[in-house]
Amino acid sequence: MPGASPLIADGRPCYRGAMHPISSDRPLVIIGAGGHGRVVLDAAIASGMAVRGFVADPPPPFTNDADYLGGLSLLSGDFLGDHDFIVAIGDQKVRRETCEQIRNDGGRLAIVIHPRAWISPSATIGGGTAIMGGVIVNANASVGDFCILNTGCSVDHDSVLEDGVQLCPGVRLAGRVHCGADAFVGTGASIIPDIRVGAAAVVGAGAVVVRHVQAGAGVRGNPAREQAR
């Protein structure tokens, strides 16, 4: 089976293909060592990536046998040039700022895709994105940079996730859903076809979204209605 051409040197949409492994000549450093970081670690190891360890402030209580390398002050000079990076931090703002700083300083963002995820050959995945086990990304879907697709979520055909979107476990996006930059969709939420979720909007856990969601709004319930954030 031919390998993918990740083109991760510039970090732009860089992965296309279903079961093709992403290879790199650099070991992976995971930034952030909380629960999400340890899930990313499992996905990276399962996909065959060489993991150097965690970078985090403060030192984490658990690293699941991966090395703790030190704090964020490591992210400069030769260390940036010798590794690929995935930012495993749930906070949208912090994740974006950290990814952009790595790029601006000449570092390279990796893509982590669990081998039990399905990525359509016509889908594209951006640099710095992490995709967990059981995820489905269907035909002609576009996933931006430094997104998080958590365990068992699905993104159906022609949907678009702009940079920094986070889908929590079990989220279901129907076809042609558009999620703006840094949108957050909570555990088990469902969004029907052709819906737009605005930038930095928050969709609550279990919500059923049948109307467009304005940028910065918070919605919850079935059907989802706007709530004070």
Please state whether the peptide bond connecting residue 223 to the residue before it is cis, i.e. omega within 30 degrees of 0.
yes
CB atoms within 10 A of CB 64: 13
pLDDT in tens, 119-167: 999 999 999 999 999 999 999 999 999 999 999 999 999 999 999 999 9
pLDDT in tens, 35-48: 999 999 999 999 99
Please state whether the peptide bond connecting residue 58 to the residue before it is cis, i.e. omega within 30 degrees of 0.
yes
- Mean pLDDT value across residues 103-120: 94
- Nearest by Cα to 160 from 169, 145, 151: 145
CA distance 208 to 192: 8
Angle at 97 between CA 93 and CA 36, to 5 degrees: 65
Q: Of residues 36, 83, 114, 157, which has the active-site annotation? A: 157
Residue ranges covered by each domain of the chain: 21-110, 111-218
pLDDT in tens, 58-79: 999 888 889 999 999 999 999 9
pLDDT in tens, 180-195: 999 999 999 999 999 9
pLDDT at 23 over 60: no
User: What six digits make up the tokens of 219?
Assistant: 């919605």
21-110, what's its fold? Rossmann fold (3.40.50)
Place of tokens 């065959």: 48
Which CATH number is 111-218's, of 3.10.20.600, 2.160.10.10, 3.30.230.10, 2.60.120.20? 2.160.10.10
pLDDT at 11 over 50: no
CA distance 118 to 144: 17
Q: Which residues pair with 17 in a beta bridge?
A: none
H/E segment holding residue 28: strand 28-31
| 157 included as an active-site residue | yes
